[in-house]
């Protein structure tokens, strides 16, 4: 077995095609980091914004004072009230500005927690049910409060912006009072951070999808098919060795999994390294929201989310490689096998969307290609079916992969006998 794996690894390392695709992956990674870096809200930008706000507020206060001196007694009361309100706003802005300058995140979070706690009290009094879906819903305010408390308790620098009502929404916020508020909320809630750990989180969400699956299929597809079964290529050399067909079969498949894990580790390391060099390392304990049944919820740290997502993605790759192996035995050509595999996955995902309300839907492996949404139960909450879980998905993908591999092995043996 080890001999086959080493042979396949050497074959990969000698492939120009493999290095070209890796170079393309690296360029895409750098390009994506440039995008994330450009869209990251930085403390320096917030300091400039608040300095401008303070300057405008001070001028406004000065104008009110001038009006008070030149106004009649009847108008002075209202102007005095306006002055008190403006001074309160200025006082708050000065505290926030000072906190940004001193990187005092706990003060910022204390102010946000105080504001959200008041909103939670009000919304709990007015919304006795979680079924109200207008933003901000009761579920959204409660999760935001716990999100801020997590950051505060663990002294974690937040990812900006953190303005309440405009920087957080959940799948239960189906309606917005104003289209402009909806657009702004969804834009600001899609936070970006170029810090190492958080950038890796971005990479996981973007790449652990069908696009990442297709990339890995093209990267390693020729391991199974490039020499062609029955030809006088490397596979013929293996067949002349004292190796069973069973070992040849498993050796190739294990090589795929080992190489895939290696690539994921390398890309993860590069992502963290780039983020650390150009920004900072970030925080492994940053909170990630996980939906629960009956409007419950919890938070997991970002390192756990990345690990669980990587684990599920490897199981999705296992299933995809099983399909690729099946078509490799049937088609014996890399492009044909990969094309048929991609087409099968795409059709399977479309079919799974059409059968989402079916009782057997949670047992269809194509549902679990939305890796990040499965890990956070976003997929389950959106479809109101918590059978779409990480545990069920893992079992379904493993069983499906084993069934397809068993069928592939039987076809492989049948071809060998017929030839």
pLDDT tens, position by position, for the chain (419 residues)? Answer: 677 777 777 777 777 778 888 899 889 999 999 999 999 999 999 999 999 999 999 999 999 888 888 776 657 778 888 889 999 999 999 999 999 999 999 999 999 999 999 989 988 888 777 888 888 889 999 999 999 999 999 999 999 998 767 889 999 999 998 888 888 888 889 999 999 999 999 999 999 999 999 999 988 876 655 544 444 333 444 444 555 666 776 777 788 888 899 999 999 999 999 999 999 999 999 999 999 999 999 999 999 999 999 999 999 999 999 999 888 888 767 788 889 999 999 999 999 888 888 889 999 999 999 999 999 999 999 999 999 999 999 999 999 999 999 998 888 778 777 76
Residue closest to 107 by CA, chosen among 99, 115, 97: 99
Residue with tokens 């009956």: 294
Say if residue 123 is exposed, middle or buried (CB neighbours under 10 Å; 0-12, 13-18, 19+): middle
One DSSP character per residue, 350-387 reads: HHHHHTTTSTTGGG-GGGGG-HHHHHTTHHHHHHT-TT
d(CA 286, CA 148): 11
Q: What is the pLDDT of residue 243?
A: 55
Q: What is the pLDDT of residue 103?
A: 95
Global confidence as pTM: 0.90
Q: What is the pLDDT of residue 229?
A: 41
Q: What is the pLDDT of residue 402?
A: 94
d(CA 313, CA 236): 33
Q: What is the pLDDT of residue 73?
A: 64
Q: What is the pLDDT of residue 251?
A: 78
Residue closest to 209 by CA, chosen among 321, 114, 316, 50: 316
How many H-runs (helices) and E-runs (strands) does the chain carry?
A: 17, 2
CA 93 to chain centroid, in Å, comes to 33
Residue closest to 220 by CA, chosen among 366, 28, 9: 9
Query: 138 Cβ partners below 8 Å, 6+ apart?
Result: 123, 124, 127, 129, 130, 132
């Amino acid at each position: 077995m080890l001999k086959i794996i080493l042979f396949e690894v050497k074959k990969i390392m000698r492939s120009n095609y493999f290095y070209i695709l890796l170079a393309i992956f690296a360029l895409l990674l750098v390009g994506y980091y440039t995008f994330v870096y450009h869209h990251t809200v930085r403390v320096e930008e917030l300091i400039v914004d608040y300095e401008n706000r303070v300057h405008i507020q001070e001028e406004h206060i000065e104008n009110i004072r001038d009006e008070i001196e030149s106004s009649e007694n009847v108008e002075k009361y209202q102007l005095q009230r306006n002055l008190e309100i403006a001074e309160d706003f200025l006082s708050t802005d000065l505290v926030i500005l000072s906190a940004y300058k001193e990187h005092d995140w706990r003060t910022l979070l204390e102010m946000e927690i105080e504001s959200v706690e008041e909103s939670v009290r009000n919304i709990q009094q007015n919304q006795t049910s979680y079924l109200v879906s207008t933003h901000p819903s009761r579920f959204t305010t409660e999760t935001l409060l716990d999100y801020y408390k997590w950051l505060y308790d663990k002294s974690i620098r937040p990812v900006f912006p953190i303005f309440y009502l405009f920087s957080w929404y959940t799948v239960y916020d189906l309606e917005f009072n104003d289209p402009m508020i909806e657009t702004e909320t969804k834009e600001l809630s899609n936070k970006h951070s170029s810090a190492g750990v958080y950038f890796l989180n971005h990479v996981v969400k973007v790449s652990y999808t069908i696009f990442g699956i297709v990339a890995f299929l093209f990267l390693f597809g020729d391991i199974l098919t490039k020499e062609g079964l029955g030809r006088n290529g490397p596979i013929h050399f293996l067949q002349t060795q004292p190796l069973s067909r069973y070992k040849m079969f498993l050796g190739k498949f294990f090589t795929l999994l080992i190489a895939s894990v290696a690539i994921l580790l390398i890309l993860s390391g590069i992502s963290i390294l780039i983020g650390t060099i150009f920004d900072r390392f970030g925080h492994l304990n940053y909170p990630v929201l996980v939906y629960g049944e009956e409007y419950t919820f919890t938070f997991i740290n970002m390192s756990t989310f990345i690990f669980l997502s990587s684990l599920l993605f490897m199981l999705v790759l296992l299933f995809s490689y099983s399909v690729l192996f099946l078509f490799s035995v049937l088609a014996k050509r890399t492009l044909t096998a990969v094309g048929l595999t991609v087409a099968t996955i795409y059709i399977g995902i479309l079919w799974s969307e059409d059968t989402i309300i079916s009782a057997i839907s949670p047992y269809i492996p194509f549902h679990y290609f939305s890796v990040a949404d499965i890990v956070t139960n976003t997929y389950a909450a959106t479809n109101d079916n918590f059978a779409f879980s990480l545990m069920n998905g893992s079992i379904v993908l493993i069983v499906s992969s084993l069934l397809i591999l068993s069928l592939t092995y039987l076809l492989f043996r049948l071809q060998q006998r017929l030839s």
